[in-house]
Structure 1
Amino acid sequence: MGETPSPRRGRGRRPAGEVRGAVLEAAGRILLRDGMRAVTFDRVANEAGSSKMTLYKWWPSPGALAAEAYFTRSAPQLDFHDTGDLRADLIEQLTSFVRWVVAAGNPVAELIGAAQLDPELGAAWSASYGLPRRELARERLRSAQRSGELREDADLDVLVDQLWGACYHRLLVLRVPVEESFVIPVVDQALYGAAAHRP
């Protein structure tokens, strides 16, 4: 596709952390720019200025690399703050999430869809993105339980499913736009419920 390889540094070997960072940056850039199919070891190695054998050593497949690159790329946009106001923090985080998936576009849906058919990608998606992001949310919710903002018996996994699952449902199942105006009703429904009387 005409990418210019990153310059290699003399004859010396670059530190492993530097190489890995360059590979993840290149893979994330390719994924979000050109889609899932464009993430190949050849192309990523060329753009990162790395050897293809290094990629084979660290990732079992291009899909696994794409999953980790996606998490690395999304992490700065999806920081989870704890200001002491759970509702405000959830609204801020979920709004950032919606902005991210809208800006990232089709590659997000492609990556999740491919993870359903590719066992290596599915495992990498869960380990590199799904479970770490879920634990960040659970950590903030546990903090809210300790401060008394949530009941001690609140099911944190169900709350996570309600909040982020609602966005993924629109994105992947209904295939309708996920808009920022969707965030506040979702957060309030999850926190305060919809029933007139609690059974």
Structure 2
Amino acid sequence: MNNLSDDAAKSRRGRRPAAEVRAEVLAATSALLAGEGLRAVTFDRVAARSGVSKTTIYKWWPSPGSLAAESYFSRSEPDLVFHDSGDLFTDIRAQLRSFVRLLTEQGGGRVIAELIGAAQGDPDLSVAVSQRYTMPRRQLAIDYFRHALNRGQLRAGIDPSLLVDQLWGACYNRLLIPDAPLDVDFADDLVTNTLLGAASADYRGGLEAAL
């Protein structure tokens, strides 16, 4: 009886924390995404690469697409931190530059394009993209623009949600419809043109003087 109790205790002590196991699964998925793209992400291949059972993986993610989405979004989050220095132009230009570089220089563009495309026919992936990436990032930008509005840097009545569409939406458009280049120069011009139109009169005067 004591031996059984001892064995059970040892088993419990040897069980790895869920966060550690999840991190290994996400790392394996990220490697597959970076190397071969979305189609390489299957539960079989992730299980083989991570050493985590398919049963465990399926318990946490309803589909390979939702797993791929979380993996990508977790990896890209540090590159898309939304800093608030108190200056509208400086912060938005820095954020949009980071976003464009993630898409064009760090391999994120191919992955996010595949995820958006696959989400059209995969309800689980569609929910994952919205809940884990697009809506949280959209809310961060909206919250920032509301702070800028309160600081008097945006004109009264401006719709923060519309500014998100104008800035990040234009980048997604060039990513998915590559008729024109998506690069940092485009990001800079986009920020300048958008904010000159959206800025309050006082802030615009200082911005025009600085450009």
The answer to whether residue 165 in structure 2 is matched with residue 161 in structure 1 is yes
Shift of 1:175: 5.0
Give the structure-2-normalised TM-score.
0.82
> Higher mean Cα deviation, 75-84 or 98-107?
98-107
* Structure 2 gap segments, 5+ residues each: 1-9, 199-211
**Equivalent residue for 1:73?**
75
* Partners of 2:144 and 2:27 in 1: CA distance: 28
**Correspondence 1:1-199 to 2 at 5 A:** 12-102=14-104, 103-104=106-107, 105-174=109-178, 176-193=180-197
Shift of 1:166: 0.4
* Structure 1 gap segments, 5+ residues each: 1-9, 195-199
Q: RMSD of the TM alignment (CA)?
A: 1.7
| Structure 1 stretches of at least 4 aligned residues deviating more than 6 Å after TM superposition | none
| CA distance 1:63–1:176, change in 2 (3 Å) | farther
* Partners of 1:71 and 1:152 in 2: CA distance: 34
Per-residue CA distance 1:9-53 (angstroms, 9 max, x = gap): x96221111111221222122112210000111111222221111
Q: Which one has the largest radius of gyration?
A: 2
* Partners of 1:147 and 1:48 in 2: CA distance: 48
Identity of counterpart residues, as a percentage? 55
* Partners of 2:149 and 2:31 in 1: CA distance: 38
* Partners of 2:31 and 2:134 in 1: CA distance: 20
* Partners of 2:156 and 2:68 in 1: CA distance: 38
Matched pairs, number = 185
2:46 partner amino acid = V
Give the structure-1-normalised TM-score.
0.87
* Partners of 2:175 and 2:142 in 1: CA distance: 22
* Partners of 1:21 and 1:152 in 2: CA distance: 44
> Higher mean Cα deviation, 71-80 or 146-155?
146-155
* Partners of 1:35 and 1:56 in 2: CA distance: 20
Shift of 1:79: 0.7
1:101 partner amino acid = L
Per-residue CA distance 1:103-122 (angstroms, 9 max, x = gap): 21422211111111211111
Higher helix share goes to which structure? Answer: 2
